[in-house]
Structure formats: C-alpha cells, structure tokens
Structure 1
Amino acid sequence: MPCESNDADLNHRERATLRAVAHGSAELTSSCAPDLFIDGLACCDQLTARGLARRGLIAPARIARRGQRVPAVLTDAGRAALGLRPVLAA
C-alpha cells in the first residue's frame, strides 16, 4: 500500500525524477522492483526510482508482462507532491 507523502518528504533527486516522469519520456519495467528508463536510458538511481514506485508516486501506465517496459506516469499522489493538479478522468 502506498505511503502518504508530500513535497517536504522528497529530496532534490526524488523531485527531479518525478519531474522527468511528468515530462512523459519515462518507462518502467513491470516487476516487484521496477527499473526506470528516461529517454530510453536506464536511470542512474534505481533505488530512488523504486522508492518512488513503492511510495505510490509513480506507476506503470498499464498492466504489462513481467519485465516489459511500459510508459511511466505520475500518480495523483506524485502530482500532488510536485504541486500539480490531479488528472481528471474523461
């Protein structure tokens, strides 16, 4: 279950990673310890990426096969941590 979080709980690197995901060019692998890729390159701080996923701030955009890369998105909690408005369902 995701932990509650706010911007004060995030360090500079975590905020920068969230901004990269918000930019729309990030992917996550589908696994219990997801790997993050930004612009096709492996993120250099997988511990931060996995922590953000575990805290429920980033997530895969859709269900995928184990190990498959899928687009990464900010969750509503991740958007709130960056001070962004939640995405409204269509």
Structure 2
Amino acid sequence: MTRFTVIYEQEAEEQLASLWLSHFDRDEVAEASRSIDVRLRDDPRRNGTPIGNKRDELGCQAGPLIAIYTISDGDMLVQVWKIMLVAN
C-alpha cells in the first residue's frame, strides 16, 4: 500500500493546538487528530468530502474535528490547511 505524507501548514497546527487547549475533553481531540492523520495517510480521496465547488479542496471529519486539505497525487502529499471544530 502506498501511503501519503501528511503535512500541516502552520496555521492548521496552531488551530489544532488552540482547540486542544480549549476543549473540555483533550483526549477526544487528540484521538480525532490521530484518526484524521491515519485516514489522510492511507486514502485521502476516499476519506474526504469535497468542500463547496472546489474539487481540489476536501474535508475529513473525525470526532469533533474536521480537517480541510488538498492532495498532490504526484508528490503523494496531503496538505492540511485548516482544522475546525464540527458545529453541533
């Protein structure tokens, strides 16, 4: 199985850290983050949903988090641009 490399842009890293610090269940946020990493590493197209009209921008949800990302197939690279809490 070919795996993708998942990288987080600085803004996404800062968003994740802020969400972890402010969330009432830090373990839930940490587990959701790990789950997103695995899903994006293993199959980012199947584990993502297109966002709006942008075919190349996808979202992957796990637990209370959603990651917004793009895929570079030629480089086998997933770039996470944004991390947000899912609205309830």
Q: What TM bracket, shorter-length normalisation?
A: 0.3 to 0.5
Task: Tell me the TM-score normalized by structure 2.
Answer: 0.34
Task: Tell me the TM-score normalized by structure 1.
Answer: 0.34
**Higher strand fraction (1 or 2):** 2
